[in-house]
Structure 1
């Protein structure tokens, strides 16, 4: 988010220090991908769409987040097949966050 101009608006929605945001994302992804349920162990239960509905997340912000995730995935030593699978899977919560935000903010 710090490097992509298209993500500047999205970046402003986060705290200056991204340490906790990164940890929460890593913990969420661990459980979401079938690993240990680190997020609930550390932070409690969460509904990703409901939690994010407090902010006006539209398609542009969702696309910016997915673009950031795509760049982060590309930096990992993942196989092409897994990288594509992961990005495809991340589109699901990204879309649900937009729907939840739209329902709350109109």
Structure 2
């Protein structure tokens, strides 16, 4: 991350997060394993994800300010999340990050940081 103290700063703040999210969700919607879990109107999901990732990666508490405590595991419990779906989600994020000009080390750091929560949400065998 070089001269940055947070991933949030290293990716360019909210606008950098938004670019990642905008590259990510078209891949999610096209993915046969996870696309059907998402609503057709993906814009509100993208906005919440931008707020959440900004906060998650060390930025301001935008998500909590608007939506309360993230409680991400509880929010994901209604959806059948298998190990394969967690990996598909991470694969879509990897592909989205590959489209950015972020350094490879930063892309890997982001994926490592997201892999814990992605696997924590698994609620189906």
TM-score range, shorter chain: 0.7 to 0.9
- Deviation at residue 51 of structure 1 after TM alignment: 1.1
- Deviation at residue 88 of structure 1 after TM alignment: 0.8
Q: Is structure 2 residue 64 aligned with structure 1 residue 40?
A: yes
Distance 1:5 1:45 in 2: 26
- Deviation at residue 22 of structure 1 after TM alignment: 0.9
Q: Which runs of 4 or more aligned residues in structure 1 lie more than 3 Å from their structure 2 counterparts after TM superposition?
A: 1-6
Distance 2:111 2:46 in 1: 17
Q: Is structure 2 residue 118 aligned with structure 1 residue 94?
A: yes
2:91 to 67, 86, 91: 67
Distance 1:64 1:2 in 2: 13
Q: Which runs of 5+ in 1 are unaligned?
A: none
- Deviation at residue 2 of structure 1 after TM alignment: 4.4
Q: Which runs of 5+ in 2 are unaligned?
A: 1-24
Distance 1:24 1:5 in 2: 16
1:6 touches 1:64 (CA, 8 Å); kept in 2? Answer: no
Change (3 A) 1:37 1:81: same
Aligned residues: 101
What does residue range 13-28 of structure 1 map to in structure 2 within 5 Å?
A: 13-28=37-52
Given the two structures, how large is their TM-score scaled by the length of structure 1?
Answer: 0.84
2:28 touches 2:89 (CA, 8 Å); kept in 1? Answer: no
**Per-residue CA shift, 1:34-66, capped at 9, x if unaligned?**
001111112222211121011110011111111
